[in-house]
Amino acid sequence: MVRGAYMEKERKRAEEMGYPSPIQPTKEASDIDYNESLRYCMAHIDEIAFVCGTHNEESSRLLADLLDQNKIAHNHPHVYFAQLLGMSDNLSFNLSDAGYNVAKYVPYGPVKAVMPYLFRRAQENTSIAGQTSRELGLIIKEKKRRRL
């Protein structure tokens, strides 16, 4: 499961082509429904296996809490957390360190094909853009801790 990454682009396309926007009206509405989808999957864990693809700490915390509340093992084979390689590494590390299943996804292909995707991800995902300076601070702090 991923949160809508192309909200502005899809909304503009719908307007240009004269059809109702299929996109959530706000990021907040998207966040609410994403979290509801996590609750739904957890309520049906015997029938559903899923990957929570997000850099959003609140959604990741929610899923971790839901696993604990339902007394489901952190490493249950139906539940994975995933982030794009190089983004939210602090989140991935801490989840993995706590025993959760974590994957880092890597866009693969010719640079000419992959770079536009990565640029779109950085542009469209405002939560990542806001986390960049925070992540840099965490990296600097960790380097100091390791005395590098």
pTM of the predicted structure, to 2 decimals: 0.77
pLDDT at 35 (0 to 100): 96
DSSP-derived 3-state class of residue 109: coil
State yes or no: pLDDT of 134 exceeds 80.
no
For residue 33 the two structure tokens come to 């429904």
Question: What percent of the chain stands above pLDDT 70?
Answer: 86
Phi, psi for residue 45 in degrees, rounded to 5: -60, -25
pLDDT digits (tens, 9 = 90+) for 76-90: 999 999 998 878 888
Rg of the chain, C-alpha, whole Å:
17
Q: Decide if 14 contacts 22 (C-beta within 8 A).
A: yes
